[in-house]
């Protein structure tokens, strides 16, 4: 081999190490570039040729290297750290994938730099003006949604306002006082309702133009609840001392069973002992009266209660040998025990026996505690009168205050259709023609989607504890946020939060096959393969951090170390060139 081979080997070393310094310089120059990915260069030797003889005596080949050349420049796509910016449209990818962009020329490029802004047309663009691709909110039949199954398009956030939505559902949490009096004038609406029997609750809603409207729900108590008789009381009853032993007194009492059904009790008193004192002759000693009682339920032959009453202590003492118990006559048999005072208000004078009155306590009619309701516009007519109701119905509560009946009243015929154990499908839909505004139909969610009602009939003050409605006025865009799925959400001044768009991410089988094209962009090549485009956090694509930017992943210490190594390599190869040059000069001087 000639010295020229060594000369050219040194030159190849100079050129290759110079390229390595170029890669290092490019990395260090982009140390503050958003989303930049550093590169690493590798070397390989140049094919070695055979010497004067192809092998040594032992058969080993004799070869001389021809220098070095660049093997590859590989990009390092390792995750970098993040910097919080406070700008909602700054985004960083945590994991695999690239933002999908479209240049002004219509070319598709890819980037890790998420420093985006909106242009004058509302398009989301990168720092060089390339459009960010994804899917925009679409509105079909007044309902907005994000559909990500179609092709990605330039993201445009141009909605400065969120349209108004008319109230369609009103949810109420209401207690209607079980202890309120019944409106005794319900049959005559011209009369003033009984004091305390009514309750009105205004509810704010929105019409289709987003205008605030107020509807009023008027409640009126129309019937008490069914309940069983719990005890008996006596008024004006006298069991005469003058009555002979064996004398009887008949008495009736009206009571109610557990279904609220009425029962007529037949009470029979029989004197078994007693004699008033007499001075004589002959003198008669005083004997305190004792009477027994037996109770039958209507025409039923069996006794439902019995006992005795005596006045030995001077006051009546009742002893029940068989507690008074009645049973329901329809449906499942339910018994309820009715207590009789052990010191009843029953007289024992010498006057003739008298049945007086038996009073029942706690019992009530068959049927639930019932309130009627009507709905009207809160505004008043031009003549100052209240607006007429546009809908009405009834609410029935059981003895525990639970809603068990829901009725809807036809205001034309005054006929009420009642449903027992109502479901969400029985909620009334009410169309209200507002005096100053467009009409809309509102469903009163008396029964919730979980099948229970927030209406109660308990013995506490009438109150609308809470109310909800799903309407809202028009609003303007106030702020934006980006979640990990790349969904851009807008918060509007009317309190609504709408999903405005969703970014698309692209992933590649071979990311090192991508070609850098400047402006923080990469372009696809045959080596990289075609991109797989989809939403973030799916199919191996990473998530998106809003209000953050991914920094350059160039490590300064590592680059400086490689810089020193490349510098030494360059110096060593330069020394080969200078040494070879000196030897060649010596060779030329042999002729002199």
Full pLDDT tens readout for the chain, 592 residues: 567 777 788 888 889 999 999 999 999 999 999 999 999 999 998 876 544 456 777 877 777 778 888 998 999 999 999 999 999 999 999 999 999 999 999 999 999 999 999 998 999 999 999 999 999 988 765 566 788 889 999 999 876 677 788 999 999 999 999 989 888 776 566 678 888 889 999 999 999 888 999 999 999 998 877 778 888 888 889 999 999 999 999 999 988 887 778 899 999 999 999 988 777 778 778 899 999 999 999 888 899 999 999 999 989 999 999 999 998 877 667 788 888 888 889 999 999 999 998 888 777 666 788 899 999 999 999 898 889 999 999 999 987 899 999 999 988 888 889 999 999 999 999 999 998 888 899 999 999 988 899 999 999 999 999 999 999 998 888 899 999 999 999 999 888 888 999 999 999 999 999 999 999 999 999 999 999 999 999 999 999 999 999 999 999 999 999 999 998 989 988 888 888 878 888 877 887 6
CATH number of the structural domain spanning residue 188: 2.60.98.20
Provide the pLDDT for residue 436. 85
Of 469, 485, 503, which residue sits at a domain end?
A: 469
Q: What is the 8-class DSSP label of residue 512?
A: G
Provide the pLDDT for residue 52. 47
Distance CA 240, CA 224 (A): 38
Same domain, 246 and 344: yes
Same domain, 297 and 387: no
Q: Are 32 and 553 in contact (CB under 8 A)?
A: no
Provide the pLDDT for residue 281. 77
Provide the pLDDT for residue 161. 73
Q: Which residues contact 231 (CB under 8 A, 6 or more apart)?
A: 338, 339, 340, 341, 360, 361, 362
**Number of other CB atoms surrounding residue 393 within 10 Å:** 24
Of 345, 361, 377, which residue sits at a domain end?
A: 361
Q: Are 348 and 322 in contact (CB under 8 A)?
A: no
Rg (CA), the chain: 49
Provide the pLDDT for residue 163. 78
Same domain, 52 and 95: no
Same domain, 346 and 384: no
Same domain, 305 and 420: no
Domain count, the chain: 4
Same domain, 237 and 345: yes
Q: Are 163 and 492 in contact (CB under 8 A)?
A: no
Distance CA 339, CA 320 (A): 9
Same domain, 300 and 235: yes
Same domain, 220 and 158: no
529-544: b (≥16 Cβ within 10 Å) or e: eebebbbbbeeebbbb
Same domain, 237 and 346: yes
- The residues that bridge with 55 in the sheet, in sequence order, are 61
Provide the pLDDT for residue 285. 84
64-81: b (≥16 Cβ within 10 Å) or e: eebbbebeebebebeebe
Same domain, 159 and 274: no
Of 421, 440, 469, which residue sits at a domain end?
A: 469
Same domain, 343 and 378: no
- Find, among 161, 350, 332, 141, the residue nearest to 238 by Cα: 350
Residue with tokens 């003889």: 53
Q: Are 514 and 522 in contact (CB under 8 A)?
A: yes
Provide the pLDDT for residue 361. 74
Q: Which residues contact 52 (CB under 8 A, 6 or more apart)?
A: 62
Question: Containing domain of residue 269, as a range?
Answer: 231-361
Same domain, 259 and 330: yes
Q: Residue 132 half-sphere exposure, CB side, CA atoms within 13 Å?
A: 31
């Amino acid at each position: 081999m000639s010295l020229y081979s060594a000369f050219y080997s040194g030159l190849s070393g100079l050129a290759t190490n110079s390229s390595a310094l170029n890669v290092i310089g490019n990395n260090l120059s982009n140390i503050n570039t958003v989303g930049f990915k550093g590169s690493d260069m590798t070397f390989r030797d140049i094919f070695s040729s055979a010497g004067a003889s192809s092998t040594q005596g032992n058969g080993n080949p004799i070869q001389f290297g021809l220098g070095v050349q660049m093997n590859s420049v590989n990009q390092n796509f390792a995750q970098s750290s993040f910097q919080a910016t406070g700008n909602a449209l700054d985004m960083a990818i945590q994991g695999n994938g690239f933002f999908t962009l479209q240049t002004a020329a219509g070319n598709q490029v890819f980037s890790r730099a998420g420093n985006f802004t909106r242009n004058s047309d509302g398009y989301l663009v990168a720092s060089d003006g390339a459009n960010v691709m994804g899917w925009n909110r679409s509105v079909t039949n007044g309902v907005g949604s994000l559909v990500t199954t179609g092709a990605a398009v330039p993201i445009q956030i141009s909605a400065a306002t969120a349209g108004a939505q008319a109230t369609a559902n009103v949810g109420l949490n209401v207690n209607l006082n079980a202890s309120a009096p019944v409106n005794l004038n319900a049959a005559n609406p011209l009369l003033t309702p009984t004091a305390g029997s009514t309750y009105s609750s205004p509810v704010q809603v929105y019409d289709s133009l987003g205008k605030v409207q107020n509807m009023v729900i008027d409640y009126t108590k129309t019937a008490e609840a069914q309940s069983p008789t719990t005890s008996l009381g006596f008024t004006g009853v006298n069991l005469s001392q003058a009555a002979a032993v064996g004398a009887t007194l008949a008495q009736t009492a009206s009571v109610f069973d557990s279904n609220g059904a009425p029962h007529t009790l037949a009470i029979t008193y029989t004197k078994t002992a007693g004699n008033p004192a007499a001075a004589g002759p002959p003198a008669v000693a005083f004997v305190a009266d004792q009477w027994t009682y037996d109770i039958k339920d209507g025409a039923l032959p069996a006794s439902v209660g019995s006992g005795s009453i005596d006045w030995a202590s001077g006051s009546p003492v009742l002893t029940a040998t068989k507690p008074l118990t009645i049973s329901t006559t329809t449906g499942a048999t339910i018994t309820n025990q009715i207590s009789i005072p052990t010191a009843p208000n029953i007289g024992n004078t010498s006057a003739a026996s008298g049945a007086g009155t038996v009073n029942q306590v706690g019992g009530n009619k068959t049927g639930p505690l019932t309130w009627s309701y009507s709905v009207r516009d809160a505004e008043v007519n031009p003549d100052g009168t209240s607006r007429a109701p546009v809908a009405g119905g009834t609410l029935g509560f059981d003895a525990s205050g639970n809603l068990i009946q829901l009725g809807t009243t036809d205001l034309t015929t005054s006929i009420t259709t009642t449903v027992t154990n109502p479901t969400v499908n029985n909620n009334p839909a009410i169309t209200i023609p507002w005096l100053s505004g467009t009409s809309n139909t509102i469903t009163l969610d008396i029964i919730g989607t979980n099948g229970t009602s927030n209406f109660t009939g308990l013995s506490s003050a009438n109150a609308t504890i809470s109310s909800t409605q799903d309407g809202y006025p028009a609003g303007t865009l106030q702020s934006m946020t980006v979640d990990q799925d790349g969904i851009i959400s807008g918060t509007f001044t009317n309190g609504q939060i709408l999903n405005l768009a969703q970014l698309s991410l692209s992933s590649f089988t071979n990311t090192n096959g991508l070609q850098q094209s400047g402006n923080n962009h990469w372009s696809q090549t045959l080596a990289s393969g075609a991109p797989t485009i989809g939403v973030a956090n799916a199919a191996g694509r990473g998530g998106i951090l809003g209000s953050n930017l991914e920094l350059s992943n160039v490590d300064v210490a590592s680059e400086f170390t490689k810089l020193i190594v490349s510098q030494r390599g360059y110096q060593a190869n330069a020394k080969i060139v200078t040494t070879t040059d000196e030897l060649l000069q010596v060779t030329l001087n042999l002729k002199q």
